[in-house]
Amino acid sequence: MSAKFTPGQASFEYPVSGVQRKTGLLVGDKYVLLDENVFHHFVFLARLFDFSSKEKSQSFEVIIPQELDNGTIRISDAGKEKVALKGKKEKELHHLKLDSGLVQIDLWIDDQKTVHKIALPGKGIEVLRS
């Protein structure tokens, strides 16, 4: 993939079955390039969520190269949950649900927005912080 970022626009060329596919996205001041195979990228989405907002669901612009998808990801606050992490004492964490339309992701984060657990239910992936 090759990408070009200019003010207000991100454009991409993907090699798909030997053919170059071009796509672009008009972007605002804030957007996230999300590689769903690089799990630490999810921390950027967690940091964008504003818990002080009256809105329980917030939208952000994203680009997801693996899915050849770009557009908006909706992050919803599913409340706090007690989560056991690798046999350690349970922690009460915020559960965020992310949905791009093609990809659904669950994040569990603490009050400092540190990601402790990531789940991609559609892909059968679960990642725990050690």
pLDDT at 60 over 70: yes
pLDDT at 96 over 90: yes
Segment 97-125 mean pLDDT: 90
Any idea which residue has 């200019």 for tokens? 6
Q: What is the pLDDT of residue 109?
A: 95
Q: What is the pLDDT of residue 102?
A: 76
Q: How does pLDDT run across 17-50, given as a tens digit for each residue? A: 888 888 777 777 777 877 766 677 788 888 989 9
For every residue of 45-58, DSSP letters joined together read: HHHH--TTSS-SEE
Q: Within a 10 A sphere around the Cβ of 20, how many other Cβ atoms?
A: 9
Q: Which residues does 77 contact at the CB level (< 8 Å), separation at least 6? A: 49, 51, 56, 57, 94, 95, 96
pLDDT at 66 over 70: no
Mean pLDDT of the chain: 85
